[in-house]
Amino acid sequence: MQNKPQGWPGITWIEGRTLLQVPNVKGQGEWRIGPAKKSDSPVFHNVAMANNRTRSVLLLGLAIRERWLLKEGKLRVLDGLAASSLRSRRWLNELPEELVEKLEIISVDRNRESVNWALANHKKYPPENSNHEQLSIQEGDLRQIVYSGGWQWIDIDPYGSPIPFLDSAMQNLARKAILQVSATDTAALCGTYPQVTRRRYAAYAVNDTVTHDTAIRILLGNIALCAAKHERSIEPLMSVFDGHHTRVSVLVTPGKKNASNVYENIGWRVNSPDKNTITTSIKAGLHSFGCADYPQPRVFLPYNSPPKSLANGKVSGPLWTGPIAKKQVLEHLTEDYALETCGICKDDHKHLISLANWKDEDIRMSNKKVISCVKRLHQSKDAVETNGLVTMDELPQWINIDGPPSPKKLISAINQRGFKAAVSVISTPAIQTDIPWNELIKIVKDINDVIAK
């Protein structure tokens, strides 16, 4: 039987288009970043993770609509570290009725107070588009509950590293499944604490201007190798580094052959490579910048051609060297789709706006967040399959120019020459492109000359 949650009913808040009660402590139910400490709140609700949950709603909606996982029948979904179960409640509440009817969700948390808050919220605000029973909220350990198996979708959203949960989740996925994984131990993934990076992720990570991309790739590399051990392979669908966390979503499919080929997408990132290293990368098809004679910021090397020295502060890896997202998925992630699914409209959602006593400014902030969580992902779509990554601020180090170019101007100029280019999803201004380095130099210099005139 459900106990009354400690501090219930707290205050009323809306995330996406879903109402919830949150504990009345600082950082809850306001537009600032979550509780200061985990212990400040009886249930963990982090406002800063709203974008993470919104993307989850959007991706699940696409997976059902586009039938990526099942042609018919219901999707078995596990919200593995659920806290307030807001993610599950948002799936049920915000996706259209015809999609939601395909869901059977279990949300799990081992913290009893979290479960109490989740149950009370689910009872107070039953989902509008679906049956209340489609979500079963359970107290327990993800690593036990996951063993019932056959999950088409597992969400792993831990405090810190997802590594303790990966193996059991991987073993218990259905034949075709999506695994969504967050990591908030970004200091480890970005190489701030090299020993922790080595111990936890069996990797080196250089803490440089592209460290967020490196973090995403180290996490993907670990997931890919875990999948391979269980005779499965992954295809990244969407990856972000957002504020204090990294989040990747991968399609997992079975098959020994693809699992054995995992090392085709695992390798090394070498900074300031010498000519031989650039040549090796070009020969392996991992360096579209080409031009081994020109000094360049970085290259990928295949796993089976490791750099001579690993501990010289220039090498990151092993990491995922393939695309970190799938173009066809990013194409769907438009601002319109995000707003249609998770946005609030003053006329259509009067009831929830009045319950939360929201002002126009709150609605504006909420919709702005919904848009922002897909904006850069969608913009990155045209070059997501390329492997040339360069940050704007580092260009003056490599090319004799006065200051960094605007990414927008650079992308447009590269596109005009017939090459692919788009913003990168990392938060530092950066682009992904397949233009050769000598051509890039010319374009960057031209832009610089125009500005200088």
Ligand X SMILES: C[S@@+](CC[C@H](N)C(=O)[O-])C[C@H]1O[C@@H](n2cnc3c(N)ncnc32)[C@H](O)[C@@H]1O
The distance of closest approach from Cβ of residue 60 to ligand X in the complex, given in angstroms and rounded to an integer, is: 13
Structure tokens at 287: 């360096």
Cα–Cα distances in angstroms (integers) from residue 142 to residues 75, 277, 340, in the given order: 18, 44, 32
Neighbour count for residue 401 (Cβ, 10 Å): 18
- Tell me if 109 contacts ligand X by CB under 6 A: yes
Instruction: Choose between 82 and 430: whose C-beta lies nearer to ligand X.
Output: 82
Instruction: Choose between 86 and 292: whose C-beta lies nearer to ligand X.
Output: 86
Cα gap 347→360, rounded to integer Å: 12
Cα-flanking dihedrals φ and ψ of residue 362, to 5°? -65, -40
Tokens 């769907």 -> residue: 332
The distance of closest approach from Cβ of residue 137 to ligand X in the complex, given in angstroms and rounded to an integer, is: 12
Taking CB under 6 A as the binding criterion, the range among 104-112, 300-308, 334-342, 397-405 that sits at the site for ligand X is 104-112
The distance of closest approach from Cβ of residue 375 to ligand X in the complex, given in angstroms and rounded to an integer, is: 21
Are 122 and 89 within 8 A, CB to CB?
A: yes
3-class DSSP state for residue 279? Answer: helix
Biggest distance spanned by C-alpha atoms of the chain:
75
The distance of closest approach from Cβ of residue 216 to ligand X in the complex, given in angstroms and rounded to an integer, is: 19
- Tell me if 15 contacts ligand X by CB under 6 A: no
Taking CB under 6 A as the binding criterion, the range among 14-22, 29-37, 109-117, 429-437 that sits at the site for ligand X is 109-117
Please pick, from the candidates 81, 216, 390, 444, the single residue that binds ligand X as defined by CB under 6 A.
Answer: 81
- Tell me if 142 contacts ligand X by CB under 6 A: yes
Binding mask 37-76 for ligand X (x = CB under 6 A): -------xx---x---x-----------------------
Taking CB under 6 A as the binding criterion, the range among 138-146, 172-180, 262-270, 290-298 that sits at the site for ligand X is 138-146
Instruction: Choose between 108 and 250: whose C-beta lies nearer to ligand X.
Output: 108
CA 50 and chain centroid, separation: 13
- Omega before 9 within 30 of 0, i.e. cis: yes
3-class DSSP state for residue 273? Answer: coil
Structure tokens at 293: 């004679």
Structure tokens at 161: 């590293």
Number of residues in contact with ligand X under rule CB under 6 A: 21
Cα gap 138→158, rounded to integer Å: 17
Please pick, from the candidates 100, 108, 299, 315, the single residue that binds ligand X as defined by CB under 6 A.
Answer: 108
Binding mask 240-259 for ligand X (x = CB under 6 A): --------------------
What residue type is assigned to position 383 of the chain?
A
Handedness of CA 369, 421, 427, 395 (dihedral sign): negative
Taking CB under 6 A as the binding criterion, the range among 7-15, 139-147, 227-235, 356-364 that sits at the site for ligand X is 139-147
The binding site for ligand X (CB under 6 A) comprises: 44-45, 49, 53, 81-84, 86-87, 108-111, 114, 141-143, 157-159
